[in-house]
Amino acid sequence: MCQIPSICKMQDFILRGPIMSPPASGWKIVVLPESAQHLRSVWAAHPSRPKNAKAAWLSMLEFLAANGIKGNKITDEVKLISVEQWCSPDPWRCKGFNKGKPKAVLPWARERWEWANGLLSDGAEDPGALLAVIKDDLTARINGPEGCILCAAHWSVVLMEHPVPSSPTLQQARHWLVDIHNETREGKSPVPFATVAAKFNWTTPV
């Protein structure tokens, strides 16, 4: 019998897969609720190494409670974040994943992606530094007041699976940006690289 009410309420999904085989992202929940974003660096260094979903939930909830953040709303946010993190890379693992999940509306998304594509125009210098600026800008917005918790969790997982390349050429930087955008366009068809290149007048660097 479950002795922790806040954890018991979370077990309304089934996580499939081999026993003792963690999801691609690992069990530790990597994204904090919006109200706990000021604790990101502390949580990143927290020596939590949970062995299953329940341990992962309990670890984060105890950490948040120790920092004065608790309640049903926080419990629900942690549930959404964790399920998104574990299920997004491998949807087959999670029975009912995305069922009834609301579509996020990010009013700034189109403008910021076009801004990012514009930074990588012909003649752009130090594309690696530009990608870092783009990643930091989008991360701050996704985690900010006009972001969304599920989007932040998905973004974190996508970045873990597709890290910013080290010292990329301009063309490599462009391909990474297009690929990462397509990864985050949930429910939408991928946009071919050639289509983006034509729209922003990208030419093949000499």
- Indicate whether 24 and 55 sit together in one domain: yes
Q: HSE on the CB side for 43, CA within 13 Å?
A: 21
Q: Which of 95, 118, 144 is the last residue of a domain?
A: 95
The band of 97, judged by pLDDT with boundaries at 50, 70 and 90, is: low
Residue range of the domain that includes 91: 5-95
Q: Is residue 205 part of a domain?
A: no
Q: What length is written for the chain?
A: 206
Q: Is residue 85 part of a domain?
A: yes
The band of 1, judged by pLDDT with boundaries at 50, 70 and 90, is: very low
Q: Which residues of 65-98 are buried (b: 16+ CB within 10 A; e: fewer)?
A: eeeebeeeebbebbbbbbbbbbbbbeeebbeebe
Residue 152 or 98, more confident: 152
The band of 76, judged by pLDDT with boundaries at 50, 70 and 90, is: confident
- Indicate whether 72 and 144 sit together in one domain: no
- Indicate whether 47 and 117 sit together in one domain: no
- Indicate whether 82 and 130 sit together in one domain: no
> Which range has highest mean pLDDT (24-28, 71-75, 94-98, 114-118)?
114-118
Q: Is residue 160 part of a domain?
A: yes
C-alpha span between 99 and 119 (Å, rounded): 37
Mind listing the pLDDT tens digit for each residue in 159-191?
888 889 989 999 999 999 999 999 888 778 899
| pLDDT above 70 coverage of the chain, percent | 86
Number of domains in the chain: 2
Q: Is residue 77 part of a domain?
A: yes
- Indicate whether 67 and 114 sit together in one domain: no
- Indicate whether 86 and 123 sit together in one domain: no
The band of 3, judged by pLDDT with boundaries at 50, 70 and 90, is: very low
- Indicate whether 172 and 127 sit together in one domain: yes
Q: Which of 55, 72, 95 is the last residue of a domain?
A: 95
Average pLDDT over residues 51-79: 90
pLDDT at 136: 93
Q: HSE on the CB side for 141, CA within 13 Å?
A: 15
What DSSP line would sit under 118-172, residue for residue? HHT-TT---HHHHHHHHHHHHHHHHTSTTS-HHHHHHHHHHHHHSPPPSS--HHH
Out of 6-10, 58-62, 174-178, 180-184, which region has the weakest mean confidence (pLDDT)? 6-10
Q: Is residue 102 part of a domain?
A: no
Average pLDDT over residues 150-164: 84
Q: Is residue 104 part of a domain?
A: no
- Indicate whether 21 and 86 sit together in one domain: yes
Q: Which of 70, 95, 120 is the last residue of a domain?
A: 95
Radius of gyration from C-alpha coordinates of the chain: 19
Q: Which of 137, 114, 131, 118 has its CA nearest to residue 172?
A: 131
Q: Is residue 133 part of a domain?
A: yes
The band of 201, judged by pLDDT with boundaries at 50, 70 and 90, is: very high
- Indicate whether 118 and 91 sit together in one domain: no
pLDDT at 75: 87
The band of 117, judged by pLDDT with boundaries at 50, 70 and 90, is: very high
Q: Is residue 206 part of a domain?
A: no
